[in-house]
Structure 1
Amino acid sequence: MTVLISVAELQQRLPAGARTVLLDVRWVLGDPHGRRHYLAGHIPGAVFVDLGTELAGHGEPRDGRHPLPAEADFQASVRRWGINAGDTVVAYDDAGATAAARAWWLLGHAGIDHVYLLDGGLAAWRAAHLALAQGEEQAETGDAVVHFGARATVDTDGAADWTGILLDARAGERYRGETEPVDPRAGHIPGAVSAPTAQNLAADATFLPAAELRARFAALGVAEGGEVAVYCGSGVTAAHQIAALEIAGFTAALYPGSWSAWSNRPERPVATGAGGDRVEP
């Protein structure tokens, strides 16, 4: 499955008039000013996607910080972005696709085909010395219909009972329980394997080649035909891990609630340390 599109490939599509919907998903944990960054400069034609309100729903703390949106709400967002049936969609951000991957995953989960991540994101666009646009862009309302279920998910019980490889996409220090800046408990799901999302990327914020990603995941225990699930802090960067796995030729399920849901459930045990050698009830 093709996941990525390069700046050069995107440049070829746009002047040709091929239907291409550009989504600017500017979001980083701790930076609430994504729209401001978008208004200051974005790829011409891109519409802004608000991760907190359009790529996530609202629930109790036990549901996690970014639960999946309701299907009807997501369809309204997809149409606001101007997506029609059959369109090619390209999502990007300015953080190595760590936020844009949430849009990529959700659109795929909703049955929208032909969705890509711009490899290298806005940094690659700038590096090619291409123009940026300022201000808000409005798209004509689209007609796409969404139906959730095209991508696999697991809930908290499923994560607890997972018998395959469970990858933790957060930074290593959060996995080990050395620090926890956001969620109520530090550590990881017992049995999970540390696989920081940042290690999917090269220095220029492009994804590593497929062969390197495949070797990376194989070293973590991922095998052809094996069952893999991924979580992170709140189900955002875990989507980036799933994109990297797909580039490498593997498929994986997402635990949308992720650590923010698990750590808000006192009945769930927590492991700390490099290998989960200490488990606390």
Structure 2
Amino acid sequence: MRTDLRTGTPTGTSEEAGGGTGALTGRTALVTGGGRGIGRGIAERLARDGARVAVHYGSNETAAKETVAAIEAAGGSAFAIGVELGRPDDAEALWEAFDRHADGLDILVNNAGIGTASPIEAIGEQEYDRVFAVNVKAPFFIVRHGLGRLRDGGRVINISSGLARTAVMPDKVAYAMTKGALDVFTRDLSKVLGPRGITVNSVAPGIIDTDNTAELLHGTPDGWARAAAISALGKVGSPADVADVVAFLASDAGRWVTGSWVDATGGSLT
């Protein structure tokens, strides 16, 4: 049965609902980098499950508003907030924007990030500092300044990467290092927030079909096939594949999972 996103009432088929359950009705979620790619998939899925979703964007306001419009067209509730991460006081600015729309938070998804970095022989200090500022420092201080807004029993979900556990792409070492740091943050934060009933987990995608991977997948005639061969399932993942894992962790069904690194690579590490 399809569930009305505002009331949780069954109204149609599960196929029409795209997997929505109403399990998050009454909760508020924030998805950083929620306008495109994996972030958009997560934002739309959480909204289908009933959450009111803050769709954060750094620079692409159009994409964020399109995501909000898609959520609303499906019967959900969402709003966009724009703050460029990786700059001084970015976390405070993000929460100031959030506070204009909501008075508390149940689910925080730290998804925004720079998705690549130059090889060690080419990367300069400015690029290195930038990727760490966006991928590590920003999530840390978003949580730091959001502690008073995050309700007891809430969820923090950090989007990591399979590259944190494998050297299959050693040319992206700086990027992989940021995800390793994010995973340590997940582990320790789970102990800090556990007494409040807040779970904290990392979800690690593999190669996902987004605009960020367009060159890898479509830049050569065999790009897609080579990427699919990395997965034990012989496929390239979609944003929905990751969003479904996040939705589980965000729901009551995921209440006993915390401090974990969840492999969402489609078996790319096997």
Structure-2-length-normalised TM-score: 0.27
Q: Which structure carries more relative contact order (alpha carbon 8 Å, separation 6+)? A: 1
Higher helix share: 2
Structure-1-length-normalised TM-score: 0.27
